[in-house]
Structure 1
Amino acid sequence: MTPPSSSDRRILSLFPFVLASLLFIGTSRLAIENSRAINGRRRSYPTYSKGRITNARSLTNFSRDEPLFNGCDVFDGRWVLDDVSRPLYKEESCPYLTKQVTCQRNGRPDSLYQKWRWEPYACELPRFDALTLLEMLRGKRLMFVGDSIQRTQWESMVCLLQSVIPDGKKSVHRNPPMKIFRAEDYDASIEFYWAPFIVQSNSDNTRNHTVHKRLVKLDSISKHSDRWKGVDVMVFDSYVWWMYKPIINATTGRLHNVQEYNVTTAYRLALKTWANWLESNINPTTQKVFFMSMSPTHLWSWEWKTGSDENCFNEFYPIWGSSYWGTGSNRDIMGILRDALKELKINVTLLNITQLSEFRKDAHTSVYTERRGKLLTKEQKSDPKNYADCIHWCLPGVPDTWNEILYAFLLYDYPQFS
């Protein structure tokens, strides 16, 4: 990547750096990969015909340990400053955004974080076309299942689609633990289902889910999965809630038999329960299933800036280099997820957004957000050490790229999926 020009750096004078960190994620410290200069790579661009990618094998489903076919891994690329086509929508143009993610409205003085486009090295992502996606979803349900990170991806998708739908032909309904966006003329719905652990837990209440002693039912999923039956496209996510502590209380079998599990062991058992449900309930010829890899955190700036003691607050540019891996992304969890998908008898596509999102230390909500339903006060904003949120993402922003990639996979599979 080419570092920002001196003209871009003027944004850095907007306000001073403040020492900060948000919370401790209960994972062991991992070695950080050194940044490397981007080597020039020749790029082969796909051509488009009737909305299809003619060399679409480059967008084939997850290949276990190898890049995607045809030399193109859409998750391997760089962030390019693009103030022409970005952002894909405006905060004020989407009435469905929650206060948690509207960083501009909440006082963030810069907007550069909205103007970065993900560019794979060996191909181009197809341009997101809301009408095309709505046509693909005609008569269908697209559901995002997971935690608040997944809810942000749902909000992003709704904002990407809603602008082409006439007033009176779109709506959002809340049916806890679900939020449902309806596109009436297409008989299509974009849904979010709150299930932070995928399996059942004492954090499943959409309002009262912040509990000090978390309890996960590792072999119980029916309470959730009864609402998933018949969904045409499912996008799962489950990570950050597991990382509160290295040990978690959980049950298997009888509810009173509560034991302490290592998080990695519990995560593996939970994914097994999820996999068993998929194999018994998903028709792979008519339904599509995706799993989002870890959404990274940027809690400690010493990881990308040697000797510093800050966090994501007051960051304005991506991390430069060809690779970066922060301590908030657990490699053991990633390995468990890969193993679970490899053992499945049906295909689940891994949307491996971790590395590309790792670069984006600049795009978190930081102090321009709310906590427990209330926007941060002026005093709280002046104390980013305790109040900066370096887990969630501003919108427009990084989750829009996740949805662009999801769109590319759906576009490729559309003839089989329709």
Structure 2
Amino acid sequence: MGFSRTRRSYSVIALSFLTISFLCLENANGCCNVYKGKWVYDSSYPLYDTSACPFIHKEFNCLKYGRPDHLYLKYRWQPSKCNLPRFDGTHLLRRLKGKKIMFIGDSISINQWQSLLCMLHAAVPTTSGIITQDLHNHTVSTVTFKHYKVSVMLFRSLYLVDVDKETIGRVLKLNSIRNGNLWKEVDVLIFNTWHWWHRRGLKQQYELYKNKYNLIN
């Protein structure tokens, strides 16, 4: 995929945690911190062919639109004191049979969602066993691998909380998550929202924010 090294790091680390069930790795020295490590070259990468994956949005498909260098696709995350198991899409689908996974957040979450779908699609490429749906006015996108009854979902939300247009302007409501009920029946939730909180000026999606105690300009 064509996103930057920083975005790619969040994606690969998140997906690796899915593979190992979010547990730290045990070794001779105890628990291995998988956050501490570095990117290393691996000639066996990438784990999927972007041209064969139907889930990548065109704005993220750098190779299709002419990116000439491919070296960035050849890196994997290597913890300092242990080895992560190589991603196995079929194994993951078997372990999560009957479960729902949801990515909640902004474009970084979209990157992660598409990466996981492409990695699973590479392991189970039969399109007749895959269902794609957009629900709740396109707020939620769902791809279901029918044979395993595994759904991989994307919930689009820049701030997690609600932004409403009122007479005083666009208001960020810190104590309001109207669509939060959609998350309750999901087995694995992966949140990301940091990218939008530091934006100011025209890039900021709200003009005021409030909670139950006050309203602040």
The normalised TM-score by structure 2 is: 0.78
Maintained 8 Å contact 1:71/1:122: no
Name the counterpart of 2:6: none
Number of residues paired by the alignment?
A: 187
Aligned partners of 1:126, 1:226: CA distance in 2, in Å?
A: 34
Name the counterpart of 1:74: 34
Cα offset, 1:59, TM superposition = 3.2
Structure 1: runs of 5 or more not aligned: 1-50, 61-68, 204-212, 261-418
1:353-412 superposed Cα distances (whole Å, 9 cap, x missing partner): xxxxxxxxxxxxxxxxxxxxxxxxxxxxxxxxxxxxxxxxxxxxxxxxxxxxxxxxxxxx
Q: For residue 244 of structure 1, what is the amino acid of its counterpart?
A: R
Name the counterpart of 1:115: 74
Cα pair distance change 1:135/1:215, threshold 3 Å: same
Cα offset, 1:164, TM superposition = 2.6
Cα offset, 1:202, TM superposition = 4.0
Name the counterpart of 2:47: 88
Aligned partners of 2:208, 2:148: CA distance in 1, in Å?
A: 44
1:236 lines up with 2:191 in the alignment = yes
What pairs up with 1:303-314 in 2 under 5 angstroms?
A: none
Aligned partners of 1:130, 1:92: CA distance in 2, in Å?
A: 18
CA RMSD of aligned residues (A): 2.6
Where 2:123 maps in the other structure, the secondary structure is: coil
Cα pair distance change 1:109/1:155, threshold 3 Å: same
Aligned partners of 1:80, 1:215: CA distance in 2, in Å?
A: 44
Maintained 8 Å contact 2:25/2:31: no
Name the counterpart of 2:93: 134
Q: For residue 173 of structure 1, what is the amino acid of its counterpart?
A: Q
Aligned partners of 1:168, 1:155: CA distance in 2, in Å?
A: 19
Q: For residue 25 of structure 2, what is the amino acid of its counterpart?
A: L
Cα pair distance change 1:141/1:90, threshold 3 Å: same
The normalised TM-score by structure 1 is: 0.42
What pairs up with 1:165-180 in 2 under 5 angstroms?
A: 165=124, 166-175=126-135, 176-180=138-142
Q: Based on CA coordinates, which of the two structures has the bigger radius of gyration? A: 1
Aligned partners of 1:173, 1:76: CA distance in 2, in Å?
A: 37
1:215 lines up with 2:177 in the alignment = no
Larger proportion of strand:
2
Maintained 8 Å contact 2:174/2:210: yes
Cα offset, 1:122, TM superposition = 0.3
Aligned partners of 2:156, 2:91: CA distance in 1, in Å?
A: 27
Q: For residue 89 of structure 1, what is the amino acid of its counterpart?
A: Y
1:59 lines up with 2:25 in the alignment = yes
Maintained 8 Å contact 1:57/1:70: no
Aligned partners of 2:23, 2:92: CA distance in 1, in Å?
A: 20
Aligned partners of 2:25, 2:139: CA distance in 1, in Å?
A: 33
Q: For residue 30 of structure 2, what is the amino acid of its counterpart?
A: N
Name the counterpart of 1:259: 216
Q: For residue 58 of structure 2, what is the amino acid of its counterpart?
A: K
Cα offset, 1:169, TM superposition = 0.2
1:216-238 superposed Cα distances (whole Å, 9 cap, x missing partner): 110101x2211111111111111
Maintained 8 Å contact 1:140/1:231: yes
Name the counterpart of 2:109: 150
Structure 2: runs of 5 or more not aligned: 1-18
Aligned partners of 1:75, 1:230: CA distance in 2, in Å?
A: 29
Maintained 8 Å contact 1:154/1:191: yes
